Amino acid sequence: MNRFLVLLFGLLLSGCYGNQKQELGACALEAGRHTTRENVPAGFPLGSDYVEACMRARGFELNQDQCPKMLRDDVIDRPDPAVLAALSNEQRKAYTEHIEKAVAALAEWRKVEPTCYEPTGWFGKRVLWIEKRLEACTLGGCFRSREDAQIELIECAGFQLQVHQSGLMGTVYEELKRIGTQPVDIQAIPTLANAYVNTYSVTKGRGPEVTARWDKGVSAAKKLAERRDVRRIARYLKSCVGTFSAALRD
């Protein structure tokens, strides 16, 4: 218990993830002073190698598992070995080069994404883990059942679809980034929720409840969109990230 309290106290003092963003911002500014676009391949972020070295000097290291899904290597589709073997030498070489370029590009973008970094020391890593767990609980991901979360995700999907139709999504994405949530974190919600609609409507006979939750999300989004209340829309969608995690929990 004493050890846990020490970790919590350290978390309150450090503001771990916020500190990562501040440090990366400072490193990016330094990189801009020391790197020119002439030295950077097309499609790569400016000064990424400098940023990584700067972050390591400040006590942070890259960890791909911390990154948003879109920046991990497993997002790249790789062909079945049998399919690859059936290609001509030229086709195989071209495809391999394409994969290598995609992997290299992701590696460069990870270097300038703050969520991909974690503290190098044991204590800092534990603080970051606790911070993420506390954030998940704040967003409602700790204490609801998985089934409740799956039903609620349908409401989130209705809300998100209506916001898209309102034409405000670009502005909402910017607000999400400002409050610490990446747009990619909510982009899979409609697809997953659609599967739950079928499960609970057809398999579990809860069609009226599913319809009611969807309509509730749509109605809430319409009201906020009419007022162009981007901040409240973004806060709602941020809460849906916790719902998304809880819906997938084992």
Q: What is the pLDDT of residues 204-249, one digit of tens each?
A: 788 888 899 999 999 999 999 999 999 999 999 998 988 888 887 6
Contact 106, 75 (CB under 8 A): yes
**What's the whole-number average pLDDT of the chain?**
79
Percent of residues, the chain, with pLDDT higher than 90: 20
Contact 157, 217 (CB under 8 A): yes
- Looking at per-residue confidence, does 162 or 90 come out higher? 162
To the question of pTM greater than 0.85 for the whole model, the response is no
Average the pLDDT over 6-24 and give the result. Answer: 57
Contact 153, 139 (CB under 8 A): no
Residues 6 or more apart whose CB falls under 8 angstroms from that of 9 comprise: none
CA distances from 209 to 145, 194, 226 (A): 16, 14, 26
- Looking at per-residue confidence, does 9 or 52 come out higher? 52
Residue listed under structure tokens 């190098």: 120
Average the pLDDT over 57-80 and give the result. Answer: 82
Average the pLDDT over 43-63 and give the result. Answer: 81
Please report the pLDDT score of residue 216 as a whole number: 93
Please report the pLDDT score of residue 212 as a whole number: 92
Buried b (16+ CB within 10 A) or exposed e, 41-67: eeebbbbbebbbebbeebebebeeebb
Does 9 score more than 50 pLDDT? no
Give pLDDT tens digits for 97-107.
888 888 888 88
Q: Helix and strand tally (H, E) in the chain?
A: 11, 2
Average the pLDDT over 181-198 and give the result. Answer: 87
Identify the bridge partners of residue 62 per DSSP, sorted by sequence position: 117
In sign, the C-alpha dihedral spanning 136, 138, 139, 140 is positive
Please report the pLDDT score of residue 250 as a whole number: 57
Average the pLDDT over 160-183 and give the result. Answer: 90
Q: Band of the pLDDT at 6, cuts 50, 70, 90?
A: very low
Contact 222, 163 (CB under 8 A): no
Q: What is the DSSP string of 157-193?
A: HHHHHHHHHHT-HHHHHHHHHHTT--GGGTTTHHHHH
Contact 249, 146 (CB under 8 A): yes
